[in-house]
Amino acid sequence: MGFDLPVCRPIFEQYVSSYGLADRIAFQAGSFLDDPLAEADVLIMGHILHGESADDKRRLMAKAYRALPKGGAFVVFEELIDNERTENAFALLMSLNILIETSFNCRAADYQSWMAEAGFRTTSVVPLRILFGFRHQRLD
């Protein structure tokens, strides 16, 4: 299921249809901040948290923790700044843009700390572009 603001429905449905998955993936309109998250074995927040305040990031991580069953997984897909702030130029530039707009930015360690506060026992940072060899891969 995809969960996002109502205005995103047509974009979501067109994208899902382009992969032939319209009969398998549904859309639910809502607000991450205002509405409860659906219970699921896996919750993925892709490019959701980066624009939120530190307090809202914490709140959303806690909501995700409460929506997951024991053994469930929470996946955050973001361009994260490495803890030393020396690698991933794209994330550093994106963070600079966010810093200009919101006056804060975060490192991978910040996300891991907030997840621990929410109750998650183990966290790890996996650079997906290294895992897959490149960014944005269509598997069909």
Catalytic residue positions, numbered: 50
Continuous H helices in the chain: 9-18, 54-67, 89-102, 108-118, 128-132
Q: What is the DSSP letter of 33?
A: T
Q: How far apart are CA 66 and CA 61, in angstroms?
A: 9
Question: What are the C-alpha distances in Å from 87 to residues 50, 64, 97, 100?
Answer: 18, 29, 17, 20
